[in-house]
Amino acid sequence: MASALTVNAQNALTSGERRAILALGSLYSFRMLGLFMVLPVLGIYAVDMPGATPEKLGIALGAYGLTQACLQLPLGWLSDRIGRLPIVIVGLCLFIAGSLVAAAAETINGIITGRFLQGAGAIAAALTALAADSTRESQRTKAMAVIGASVGLSFVMAIVLGPVIAAGLGLQGVFLVTAALGAVGLVIVLTVLPKNAPKTAAIADGDWAADHVFGGRLPILYASVFLLHGLMMATFLIIPANLVDIFSFAASEHWMIYLLTVVLSIPPALLIMRMGRGGEDPRWALSVAIVSLVGGILIALLAPNLITVGAGLCFMFVGINALEAILPATVTRVAPGRLRGTALGIFATCQFLGIFVGGALAGFILSAGGSEAVAVLASFCALLWLTVLWLRPFTPVIVTVSNE
């Protein structure tokens, strides 16, 4: 009986873990909500700005991801040395400043400048490392699940709120609301998150080696998040247009199908996350999530009717939600604790590169071969992804770092 109580206590979140997870989930949610709200409205409301061209509109959309990709690694590395909170605070200030610059912009070049500045606040690696630092290893997947769910929820809310805010306040209003959400996140950091960084966040100068952050199975995890976000961008480049052009589904009603499919995807995604938490080898959970992701994308891209599109999106969101939780949790188990921020910086860099490359490549392939060509690319990526994943056993190994 005492043993069972001990096991239950070990499996339960402590009050400190709950506080940190909820605070970090809220911070992620507010920040990503502001970013996602811009996506469905920028191309519509900025098209008539002075200097606007299709190329510059594309740069304005992708600028954030590009600067994020460039700065995730150095800021993740820096967070291992000076602590997570200073990086998060400075990053949020840059994010707020970029939002205000974009809100005040009267030309497309001003929007681009603001978007680049928003991306300079590259705090994803530091936030994920802080979540790992604040939880025990047995509870880490729960923390990543909350964060992943907050990002997914933010996306759905943004699809609804972005067009509504833009209709009432214009593009400037969207950026002002984004700045306000960043300010709320800053308040959370200053008032809720623990001020004292865990000891594992510090590292002695020179205690670094390439095999610490590129050893074991870390490279496949980096490649996985690249493919995940690349495929996501490719899909969302095509599906909204298909809903309007092929199925005559009004753009103002798209939020309905996104909301419904995300809600339906949560229970099976939680089951897959549980698989990933149950043993040392996460390949089975990752494989199920990958098949769900890519299978859903193929169904949605090639669907003959609206109901089939919805089914495909549901499967896709199952894969997205599961992978968003399992992948970073596995990185934190494999990477040495005192280099966790560096490893997560590489991970986040690959994530944002996937966003940039996926969108650009999908646009080129779409113009050359249509949705079917993108479906072929997704199938090839899935086959390659699963093959590399199963090449050898996936047993996370913690690399020890000498303090001498």
The per-residue pLDDT for 288 is 93
Note whether 290 and 385 are within 8 A (CB).
yes
- CA angle in degrees (0–180, nearest 5) for 31-35-38: 150
Angle at 183 (CA atoms; ends 178, 185), nearest 5 degrees: 95
CB 312, CB 301: distance < 8 Å: yes
Boundaries of CATH 1.20.1250.20 in the chain?
19-140+166-193, 210-393
pLDDT higher than threshold 90 for residue 135: no
Q: Residues 6 or more apart from 326 whose CB is under 8 A from it? A: 141, 144, 272, 273, 276, 282, 285, 286, 289
Is residue 185 classed exposed, middle or buried when 0-12, 13-18 and 19+ CB atoms within 10 A define those classes? buried
| Calpha distance 382→277 (Å, rounded) | 23
Which pTM value belongs to this model?
0.75
Who wins on pLDDT, 165 or 55?
165
Average pLDDT over residues 102-111: 93
| Residue, of 66 and 395, whose pLDDT is higher | 66
CATH-assigned architecture of domain 210-393: Up-down Bundle (1.20)
Query: How many CB atoms neighbour CB 161 within 10 A?
Result: 19
The answer to whether 134 and 200 have CB atoms below 8 angstroms apart is no
Between residues 60 and 11, the one the model is more confident about: 60
37-84 per-position pLDDT tens digit: 887 777 677 778 898 776 677 677 777 888 888 887 788 788 878 888
Spatial contact of 118 and 102, defined as CB atoms under 8 Å apart: yes
Mapped onto helix, strand or coil, the DSSP state of residue 121 is coil
Instruction: Give me the percent of the chain exceeding a pLDDT of 70.
Output: 83
Average pLDDT of every residue of the chain: 79
Report the C-alpha gap between 291 and 295 in whole angstroms: 6
pLDDT for residue 55: 67
Distance separating alpha carbons of residues 194 and 178, to the nearest angstrom: 25
Quickly state the pLDDT bin for 206 (edges 50, 70, 90).
very low
The CATH topology of domain 19-140+166-193 is Growth Hormone; Chain: A; (1.20.1250)
Most confidently modeled of 52-66, 126-140, 183-197, 202-216? Answer: 183-197
Highest mean pLDDT among 193-197, 205-209, 211-215, 286-290: 286-290
As given in the structure block, the two tokens for residue 200 are: 């594992």
State the pLDDT confidence band at 204, using cuts at 50, 70 and 90.
very low
7-21, 228-242, 301-315, 373-387: range with highest mean pLDDT? 301-315
The DSSP H or E segment spanning 391 is none
- Which range among 125-134, 180-189, 256-265 shows the weakest confidence by mean pLDDT? 125-134
286-344 tens-digit pLDDT: 999 999 999 999 999 999 999 999 999 999 989 988 898 888 888 877 777 667 767 77
pLDDT at 314: 94
